[in-house]
């Protein structure tokens, strides 16, 4: 009797240890079911793989909608493993081989991942990794080639624009001389042709200047001469220059200053280029009798300058490409002036070079307000 009692105790201990190992440590699907297929117990591996507690769930919910068998009908030691699909915590479908055995008052479902599937995934991963490494090396090679081509492009544009500037300037000046000194002896058609030559020459010169600027910027040659200056005086001086152009268009320029501003470190020539672009655009798009309002005020640790017009505004569809090179809006100026499509792109690079911001404030309706900011603290050493 004592021997039988000892053997019974050992059997219980073995079952307990085995169940504990299957629940906590074994890398297998372990599910203990009742006769109806409800999960009474499950392994840590199964719950972590599926991503939730499984106790109380029917086996069909765990093994997929296509699993329509009764677990007790599958309890056959000689039967082949049942291949089922299990959805893991990430929503991926995993194929698992299950065996169902009866143990006392329970049905034990033991499942193991499809080894061939894992091997295939590892092979695919290694192949993808090799392809990625090859593509990465090819991308680095192409990047170097593109950088060299970009340098050549900038050098070519800079050289061509510089060499073209003198003959175009000469054509502009000569047409102006002919218009001034021969105005009385020219027929109206001849004078109109000379005016067209002068206008086209001015446009080409502006385009060449913009091409030179964008080539220098893209080549990393935006050298800034930062000096602390009175931004209010700078704006007033800029308005005096642009007021002549505004008078020709019958447009008024008004400066609205909200407060006395501290000195601001900026490159006068570069920011003057930004101001000229924003103000000239505002004048070009303003109707006759309209008003352009320039404002300056402090915003935190920076100074903000805004330029507002009473023109048709900027449509929402044009906003995304507004500051990109050679981009033009669908809006036309009242007098049909041409645009190089580079001014705002250059202005953005200059402002960003100062570590400031530039943008558009517009609700898609009439009128547009462009703004840019300049930090009050010197962004880098003199």
- In terms of Cβ atoms closer than 10 Å to its own Cβ (0-12, 13-18, 19+), residue 19 is middle
For residue 357, what pLDDT is reported? 93
Whether residue 242 is found in the same domain as residue 366: yes
302-312 pLDDT, tens per residue?
999 999 998 88
Residues 6+ apart with CB under 8 A from 299: 373
User: 126 and 81 in one domain?
Assistant: no
Lowest mean pLDDT among 33-37, 65-69, 135-139, 354-358: 65-69
Answer yes or no: are the C-beta atoms of 82 and 98 closer than 8 Å: yes
| End position of a domain, from candidates 83, 113, 143 | 113
Q: What is the mean predicted confidence (pLDDT) over 127-135? A: 83
21 and 61 housed in the same domain = yes
**Structural domain for 262, as ranges:** 227-375
Angstrom distance (rounded) from CA 284 to CA 253: 12
Q: From CA 203, how far away is CA 101, in angstroms rounded?
A: 89
Mean pLDDT value of segment 318-324? 80
Q: Is the pTM of this model over 0.75?
A: no
Which residues, including other chains, have CB under 8 Å from residue 58's CB and lie 6 or more apart?
Answer: 36, 37, 38, 39
Q: What is the structure's pLDDT at 381?
A: 56
The pLDDT tens digits for 142-194 are: 888 887 777 776 666 666 666 676 787 777 777 777 777 776 677 778 778 87
Indicate whether 380 belongs to any domain: no
User: What pLDDT, on a 0 to 100 scale, did the predictor assign at position 71?
Assistant: 72
Comparing 230-244, 284-298, 357-371, the range with the smallest average pLDDT is: 357-371
Does the residue 382 lie in any domain?
A: no
Q: Comparing C-alpha atoms, which of 246, 232, 305 is closest to residue 274?
A: 305
Find tokens 């002896």 and name the residue.
Answer: 185
Question: Is residue 381, in this structure, part of any structural domain at all?
Answer: no
Greatest C-alpha distance within the chain: 141
Integer angstrom CA distances of residue 332 from 129, 266, 309: 52, 33, 14
Judgement on whether residues 240 and 366 belong to the same structural domain of the protein: yes
C-alpha 311, offset from chain centre = 30
Last residue of a domain, one of 91, 113, 135: 113
Query: Six-digit token pair at 150?
Result: 């970009």
Statement to judge: residues 80 and 96 lie in one domain: yes
Q: Are residues 9 and 126 in the same domain?
A: no
Per-residue model confidence as pLDDT tens digits over 257-286: 878 899 999 988 889 889 988 998 899 888
């Amino acid at each position: 009797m004592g021997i039988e009692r000892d053997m019974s105790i050992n059997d219980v201990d073995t079952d307990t240890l085995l169940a504990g190992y299957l629940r906590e440590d074994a890398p297998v699907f372990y599910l203990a079911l009742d006769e109806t297929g409800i999960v009474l117990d499950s392994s840590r591996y199964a719950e972590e793989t599926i991503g939730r507690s499984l106790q109380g769930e029917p086996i069909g919910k765990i093994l997929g909608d296509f699993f329509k068998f009764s677990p007790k009908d599958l309890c056959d030691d000689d039967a082949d493993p049942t291949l089922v699909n299990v959805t893991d915590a990430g929503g991926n479908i995993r194929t698992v081989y299950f065996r169902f055995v009866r143990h006392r008052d329970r049905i034990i479902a033991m499942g193991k991942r499809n080894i061939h599937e894992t091997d295939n995934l590892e092979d695919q991963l290694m192949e993808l990794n090799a392809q990625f490494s090859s593509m990465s090396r090819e991308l680095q090679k192409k990047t170097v080639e593109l950088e060299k081509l970009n340098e050549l492009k900038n050098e070519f544009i800079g050289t061509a624009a510089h060499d073209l500037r003198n003959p175009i300037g000469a054509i502009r000046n000569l047409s102006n001389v002919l218009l001034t000194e021969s105005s009385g002896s020219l027929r109206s058609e001849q004078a109109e042709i000379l005016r067209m030559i002068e206008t086209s020459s001015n446009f080409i010169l502006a385009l060449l200047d913009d091409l030179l600027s964008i080539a220098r910027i893209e080549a990393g040659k935006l050298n800034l001469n930062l000096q602390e200056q009175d931004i209010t005086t700078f704006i007033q001086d800029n308005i005096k220059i642009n007021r002549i152009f505004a008078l020709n268009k019958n447009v008024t320029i008004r400066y609205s200053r909200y407060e006395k501003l501290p000195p601001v470190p900026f490159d006068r020539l570069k920011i003057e280029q930004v101001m000229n672009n924003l103000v000239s655009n505002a004048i070009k798009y303003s109707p006759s009798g309209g008003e352009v309002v320039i404002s300056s005020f402090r915003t935190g640790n920076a100074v903000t300058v805004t330029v507002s017009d009473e023109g048709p505004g900027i449509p929402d569809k044009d906003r995304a490409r507004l500051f990109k090179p050679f981009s033009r809006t669908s809006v036309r100026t009242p007098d049909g002036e041409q645009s190089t499509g580079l001014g705002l792109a250059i202005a953005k690079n200059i402002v960003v070079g100062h570590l400031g911001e530039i943008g558009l404030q517009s609700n898609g309706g009439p009128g547009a307000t462009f703004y840019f900011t300049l930090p009050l603290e010197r962004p880098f050493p003199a």
